[in-house]
Amino acid sequence: MQDLTTSEVYSLGIVSAVCLAILFNAFQSNGEPLYASLAIGGLAFSFSYALIQWTGDVFVRRGYKGRDLSKKTRPEIPEAMGLVSALVYLLAIVSFLPFAFKRDIVAVTSGGGNKDLRLDIEDIENGRFLHRFPLEKVGHLHAALHNLASYGFAYGTLASITILGILDDSFDMRWRHKFFIPAFAALPMLALYFVDFGVTHVVVPLPLRPYFGELVDLGILYYLYMAAISIFCPNSINILAGINGLEVGQSLVIACLIILNDSLYLLPTVQQPHPAADSHLFSIYLLLPFVGVSLALFRHNWYPSKVFVGDTYCYFAGMLFAVVGILGHFSKTLLLLFIPQIFNFVYSAPQLFGLVPCPRHRLPRFNARTGLMEPSVATFSEEKPLIPIVGQVLKLLHAFKLLRIVQDEQGRVVESTNFTIINLWLVWRGRLREDRLATELLVMQTVVGLVGLWIRHKLALLMFTVDNRF
């Protein structure tokens, strides 16, 4: 077991003490969910930071270990440590529920006879509280149950994806087999959507309204769309990976950008109570603890990594974004925050779908002599030939600096850089040290995400007559 250093013990101790005090105060008043969520995020950070440190060796002993391919000595370090973050996160969400619903419980039971609580035969037959509610409070109760269902099904979906992630990390599955894993985990969430919202209409952008009208019912297609998002988000994070800190880093950037977008709906300048405020609060409450557990993991996973996060973390993070986007009704905005991942996915498609041979690892190549990262390559030979027409397309991409290829004397493409934006970035920027590469990619992602959000709220006015913030 790896112990924490003295300064780590003090810092984590102080963070935890402050967070506990906030939680205690929140519970004394009416739950204060926002403060409670922030404090639970802080506690989740401390807890996962310490647990990752303490359990790394245990993971290695159980065979959960991987070689850091981009270091001179290729050290073996714990793999799949994102499992710790995911489990602490699930615990955090359950701990948050009393704070989320205290206000509702008080509102529903106050004056409704909660002072003389005692069980009698009627209670046992009808449940403890339900029959006592005056009618006007039933509406309130309904809203609270609706919210509780969202938390419950989000929890179910995230717990399922964590289990499936562990399977993947344990059996090192083939890419084409594991691609659809997240669809199974998303079933609880889709079931809730079916039972609870069932809204499959979309608002048509202005230019298309003469043809389609104001609203279009997509029906079953909408469920396929949501399933596609649930498959895409986890996988797209998992394949934008291979350098220290990138998996968690990109998830943190997306989480913070979603929180930023959520806050835009809660500002005092927006007319309150805004109809979408509840959905965005739901999203914030789910994301703050996620930021906590992810920051802890990031500290251990940043260059030079002491642990790897595993596919468990990538799936879990991606699925959380899908959950808040879908249940919070902002899945299209969510996709704007995934632009680098979408680009990487589309750019990767030729390798993912077998048009171009795909090696097991596409992470950039570490040059031990310079200590810098270079684009990694796929080579094409008699055994792994390239279809001639594909060769022509690669030459075209090369001409547009979207790839780097090597040709033999006959002009046949014998080698090309692997199709990931990490390699493409190196083609553009030249050799870079691993941490520099990760930082640049994260900055690029942040800038693209901010521009995406800006366009989202500006362009909405042109395409939909109103931005839904107003």
For residue 120, what are the CA distances in angstroms to 127, 128, 130? 10, 9, 14
> Which span (64-72, 98-106, 269-277, 388-396) binds ligand UD1, by CB under 6 A?
64-72
User: Which two structure tokens, joined as six digits, stand for 233?
Assistant: 């988000």
> Which span (50-58, 63-71, 153-161, 221-229) binds ligand UD1, by CB under 6 A?
63-71
Q: How many CA atoms lie within 13 A of 233 on its CB side?
A: 32
The number of residues that bind ligand UD1 (CB under 6 A) is 19
Footprint on residues 296-325 left by ligand UD1 (CB under 6 A): 305, 308, 311
The minimum distance between CB 175 and ligand UD1, in angstroms, equals 5
User: Could you tell me if 139 and 185 are in contact, meaning their C-beta atoms sit under 8 angstroms apart?
Assistant: no
238 binds Mg ion (CB under 5 A): yes
User: Could you tell me if 108 and 133 are in contact, meaning their C-beta atoms sit under 8 angstroms apart?
Assistant: yes
Region label for 354, one of left (φ > 0), alpha (ψ between -120 and 50) or beta (otherwise): left
Footprint on residues 297-326 left by Mg ion (CB under 5 A): 311
362 binds ligand UD1 (CB under 6 A): yes
> Which residue, 128 or 177, has its beta carbon nearer to ligand UD1?
177
- Using the structure block, give the residue that is written with the tokens 């055994």: 383
User: Could you tell me if 313 and 249 are in contact, meaning their C-beta atoms sit under 8 angstroms apart?
Assistant: no
State phi, psi for 358 to the nearest 5 degrees: -120, 115
Q: Return all residues near 82 (Cβ < 8 A) that are at least 6 apart.
A: 165, 247, 248, 297, 309, 310, 312, 313, 314, 316, 317
User: Could you tell me if 258 and 267 are in contact, meaning their C-beta atoms sit under 8 angstroms apart?
Assistant: no
Q: How far apart are CA 294 and CA 300, in angstroms?
A: 10
Q: Which of 56, 234, 242, 452 binds ligand UD1 (CB under 6 A)?
A: 242
Q: Which of 238, 251, 283, 416 binds ligand UD1 (CB under 6 A)?
A: 238
The minimum distance between CB 304 and ligand UD1, in angstroms, equals 10
Footprint on residues 170-209 left by ligand UD1 (CB under 6 A): 175
User: Which two structure tokens, joined as six digits, stand for 210?
Assistant: 């003469």
The minimum distance between CB 308 and ligand UD1, in angstroms, equals 5
Q: What does 363 interact with, of Mg ion, ligand UD1, none (CB < 5 to 8 A by kind)?
A: ligand UD1
- Nearest residue to ligand UD1, using CB? 66
Using CB under 6 A as the criterion, which residues of the chain lie in contact with ligand UD1 when the complex forms? 66-70, 79, 175, 238-239, 241-244, 305, 308, 311, 361-363
Using CB under 5 A as the criterion, which residues of the chain lie in contact with Mg ion when the complex forms? 238, 311
